Amino acid sequence: MELEFFGAAGEVTGSCHILRMGGRQLLLDCGMIQGGRDAPERNRLPFPFAVASIDAVVLSHAHIDHCGRLPLLVKRGYRGPIYTNGACAELVPILLRDSAKLALADAERASRRLPPGASMATPLYDLADVETTLGLLRPIPYDLPRTLLPGITVRVRDAGHILGSSSVELWAGEGGATRKLVFSGDLGQYDTPILHDPWRFESADVVLMESTYGNRLHRGRADTERELGDILAQAARDGGNVIVPAFAIGRSQELLYLLAKHYAQWQVARWKIFLDSPMAIAASRIYWRNPDRFDEEASRLRAGFRGLPALPNLVLAESADDSRAINNVRGGAIVIAGSGMANGGRVLHHLRHNLPRPECHVLIVGFQAPGTLGRQLVDGAPEVRIHGRPVRNAAKVHTLGGLSAHGDQGDLLRWYDSFTPRPPVYLVHGEVASAEALAGKLRERGAVATVTRPGLKVDLSALESLARDNPST
């Protein structure tokens, strides 16, 4: 019985871990590596395990750094089941089809740089691989244990990160001994709009935990909403546009929700709001179709919505022409567009047109990986490159950490504190500095905390048995 870390070990993206037991192998996530010049090459590397030996996959949520290499796994021969929560299974097709389109565009761009006569660069995977992958999805509901393989039982719990996001409870039994592992997946903030709080666990023998913001504290919810209102007021005075690079799933819906909630107070009527992302539009429709996953406040507000939040000044920009037309808007627009780290997508056009203008504002609402344009903006770069050309950055850039889909250090500690007694914890999904800071805090609480690196193995059968529940017995 053994656990091994492959991806998102010592970094944020590329989530992938493997559980081996009794000759069977189960993969937790199979995500894309994002950010950094070498990311495309790293994504193409052979998997550090035999694809044919994987019996099942459990997917924590629909973000591409968790599901983005599933089609590659399939392209390389995987045909087993992919278990995930039902709402996640609704979102995954949107993300993976988009990812295949981006992979094709990348390959075409790479081919143009090849010498004449050279064979064309192949995309990481194509739409056919994605469709095969989607056929392997096996939706599972929250809160019901399910035996996936002999000796392996799984139960997914709401992680409160994005719609359909899960923390995974996993019981592995071999030779009469059972060990319980809890994989946090990505954890949302507590008391955040729309979604429930992360599930409160009680016991486990070992915990795998994300550490994205292990060294940071976000502003409180009320302060964050006030800050957003203040930024919009300042931007209205300046007379320019507000550009928001936002992940299609999660942040886009939360922003629309907040604009609807504070419609009168923030004088939202004076803005024209563009949701410039077919993916975000599709994801928003899925969000609003799944109200059973909403917290009380969202359920109350939703009573006034039909479909998307009822913003009379919301424009859904579906086509590329719709998107290009926004370039002519010189002021009074809030433009929510992907990608969330501004390393591709429609938001690049909007940044190219608006960054040089001091009356414009850029609102950063999510995590920005090193090497992305979004990170350069957060770091205050006076000039950036977009589509190969230098662009002067004269706009005002705001980072609204409190809107992040990820809990901060306080949230992460609160999540871990529910485990008694303290199980050993392995930190994944964080840059090393962030994971180390969280490890320090966890050790102060008496936990044995380890910052992971690729290839690190944990012998589960050697762990002390601490878990009190076992649905398979």
Give the count of residues interacting with Zn ion (CB under 5 A). Answer: 2
179/375 with CB nearer Zn ion: 375
Q: Rounded to the nearest 5°, which phi and psi values hold at 390?
A: -70, 140
43/165 with CB nearer Zn ion: 165
161/180 with CB nearer Zn ion: 161
63/180 with CB nearer Zn ion: 63
10/185 with CB nearer Zn ion: 185
Site string for Zn ion, 127-166 (x = CB under 5 A): ----------------------------------------
Kindly identify the residues of this chain, within the stretch 9-48, that bind Zn ion according to CB under 5 A: none
How far apart CA 181 and CA 425 sit, in angstroms, is: 10
Among 17, 24, 63, 346, binds Zn ion (CB under 5 A): 63
Report the SS3 class of residue 447: coil
Stretch that binds Zn ion, among 186-194, 253-261, 422-430, 453-461 (CB under 5 A): 186-194
Closest approach, Cβ 161 to Zn ion, in A, equals 6
How far apart CA 283 and CA 289 sit, in angstroms, is: 10
Residues in the chain: 473
The pair of structure tokens assigned to 442 is: 């966890």
Stretch that binds Zn ion, among 27-35, 181-189, 386-394, 420-428 (CB under 5 A): 181-189
Closest approach, Cβ 129 to Zn ion, in A, equals 22
Kindly identify the residues of this chain, within the stretch 309-328, that bind Zn ion according to CB under 5 A: none
Closest approach, Cβ 61 to Zn ion, in A, equals 6
Closest approach, Cβ 232 to Zn ion, in A, equals 26
Closest approach, Cβ 63 to Zn ion, in A, equals 3
DSSP 185: -
Stretch that binds Zn ion, among 185-193, 267-275, 353-361, 447-455 (CB under 5 A): 185-193
Closest approach, Cβ 273 to Zn ion, in A, equals 24
Among 186, 205, 276, 408, binds Zn ion (CB under 5 A): 186
Stretch that binds Zn ion, among 56-64, 302-310, 317-325, 412-420 (CB under 5 A): 56-64
How far apart CA 87 and CA 288 sit, in angstroms, is: 11
The pair of structure tokens assigned to 238 is: 């300046």
63/353 with CB nearer Zn ion: 63
Stretch that binds Zn ion, among 13-21, 59-67, 359-367, 463-471 (CB under 5 A): 59-67
Sign, CA dihedral 284-408-364-347, equals: negative
63/349 with CB nearer Zn ion: 63
Instruction: Give the contacts of 153 (CB within 8 A, at least 6 positions apart).
Output: 145, 146, 147, 170, 171, 471, 472
Closest approach, Cβ 425 to Zn ion, in A, equals 19
The pair of structure tokens assigned to 288 is: 């609003």
Identify residue 43 by its one-letter amino acid code: N
The verdict on 429 binding Zn ion (CB under 5 A) reads: no
Angle between helices 251-261 and 278-289 (to 10 degrees): 70
63/302 with CB nearer Zn ion: 63
4/186 with CB nearer Zn ion: 186
The pair of structure tokens assigned to 358 is: 């001091």
Closest approach, Cβ 366 to Zn ion, in A, equals 9
98/186 with CB nearer Zn ion: 186
Closest approach, Cβ 106 to Zn ion, in A, equals 22
Q: Rounded to the nearest 5°, which phi and psi values hold at 10?
A: 85, 5
Closest approach, Cβ 249 to Zn ion, in A, equals 9
Cis before 150 (ω within 30): no
- Nearest CA among 248, 28, 61 for reference residue 142: 61
Burial 210-240 (b: 16+ CB within 10 A, else e): bbbbbbbebeeeeebbebbbebbeebbebeb
Stretch that binds Zn ion, among 57-65, 95-103, 300-308, 431-439 (CB under 5 A): 57-65
Q: Give one DSSP letter per residue of 262-320, joined into a string.
A: TTTTTTGGGSEEEEE-HHHHHHHHHHHH-GGGB-HHHHHHHTT-SSS---TTEEE--SH
Stretch that binds Zn ion, among 111-119, 182-190, 380-388, 418-426 (CB under 5 A): 182-190
Stretch that binds Zn ion, among 60-68, 79-87, 338-346, 355-363 (CB under 5 A): 60-68
- Antiparallel, parallel or unpaired: β 361-364 and 396-399: parallel
Tell me if 167 sits within 8 A of 196, measured CB to CB. Answer: no
Identify residue 390 by its one-letter amino acid code: P
Footprint of Zn ion on this chain (CB under 5 A)?
63, 186
